[in-house]
Amino acid sequence: MTFIKRDGSCVDGPIAAITPKAVTVQPQQNPPVTIQRGDLLQVTQEDAVLFSARSSWADVEAVQLSPHESFIVKTRKGVLISGRPLSISDRGFIYKRFLWLKKRYPKDQIVAVDYLRMKPASPAFDYFTQEAPALLFFYPEFYDRLGGLEGQVPVRLYDVLLHEDDSSLNCSPR
């Protein structure tokens, strides 16, 4: 996982400990690093966002939906739209309604966008995938993932109540 801090610096590694106020990351061959919640801007895993403390339409546009992933879009009228859009642009979303009908949701009518991403694989599942893929047949998480039952994690990417920050996130050496 990559933990991006508000000052632009990044820490790579797995979570060693977590509390409501801070997360401790264990970088490879370095001492653990504790990041306070207020200093944490975004957490990514393999280019997919796990946590975001900013409101960014650029992050919404950058999402590459995998199978079993989608968005939940809330409009100003309180309508919740769930599913995979046909397209996302700086003007809003386009969803398929029926066979050939399309429904546009302009950005100025959208209040919030949540990215429903697949729950990250457990470390044991990752280990079996890399070291002993033939043994996945005996590992229960394999069947959950095969059937799309691994669960989803909602990540708020855009919220009209927060200041919109579409700046690119690049890790700076510190």
The pTM score is 0.77
Going from N- to C-terminal start, the domains of the chain cover 1-45, 55-127+136-162
Model confidence at 109, pLDDT cuts 50, 70, 90, reads very high
CA distance 174 to 171: 9
- 65 band by pLDDT with thresholds 50, 70 and 90: confident
pLDDT of residue 173: 57
Q: What separation in angstroms does the CA of 85 have from each of 106, 109, 135?
A: 13, 16, 36
Tell me which residue has tokens 């927060």: 162
